[in-house]
Amino acid sequence: MPTFPPPGPIAGFCDRLVAHDLPDLPAGRRAEVVAFAGRRIAAMPTPMRLGVGVVSCVVEGAGRLVGRTHLTSFLARRPLPVVGEYVRLVRSLVYARVWDAWPDTSPTGGSSVRPPGFVSPISPTPGGNGDTNARVTVDDE
């Protein structure tokens, strides 16, 4: 049965956004993070999924006209109304996942050296989910 939003445009956009923001993130981690963001978006409440679906289709259509990589780079730098919320959502899922799973990651996505004896405070969770304080938040009160 077809799903909405279709996963292809979101995964493609997410992949390009990660490549833009975190160019040094290893390919395997990038693929895992993109899959993670896709899962979380697919599990969002219906109204949010519909909204994200519409915006992702608009972004995909515009990307076909002006070039997907070019458009992603533009959107990553310019917080446009509505579309900017889509970027923020994807970005927040990605960042939460990257630093939750690999806290030693450098700001560009590369692996930095772990301090001797360092143990990740939170276990990586394959198949886990994400959190954003922009679009996802944790109940810490």
Binding site for other proteins (CB under 8 A): 21, 40-41, 43-48, 51, 79, 85, 88-89, 91-93, 95-101, 103, 105-107, 112, 121-123, 125, 127-141
Query: What is the closest distance, in whole angstroms, from the C-beta atom of residue 110 to other proteins in the complex?
Result: 11
- CB closer to other proteins out of 64 and 118: 118
Rounded to whole angstroms, the Cα distance separating 69 from 18 reads 11
* Rounded least distance, CB 102 to other proteins, Å: 9
Closest distance of CB 59 from other proteins, Å = 18
Closest CB to other proteins among residues 7, 128: 128
Beta carbons of 23 and 51 less than 8 angstroms apart: no
The structure tokens listed for 14 are 């997410």
Residue whose CB is less far from other proteins, 6 or 124: 124
Q: Closest separation between CB of residue 36 and other proteins, Å?
A: 9
Closest approach, Cβ 65 to other proteins, in A, equals 27
Residue number with CB closer to other proteins (12 or 85): 85
Q: Give the span between the Cα atoms of 47 and 45, in whole angstroms.
A: 6
Beta carbons of 66 and 21 less than 8 angstroms apart: no
CA distances from 74 to 78, 100, 105 (A): 6, 27, 25
Nearer to other proteins, 3 or 133 (CB): 133
Q: Are 9 and 60 in contact (CB under 8 A)?
A: yes
Q: What is the C-alpha to C-alpha distance for residues 12 and 35, in angstroms, rounded to an integer?
A: 10
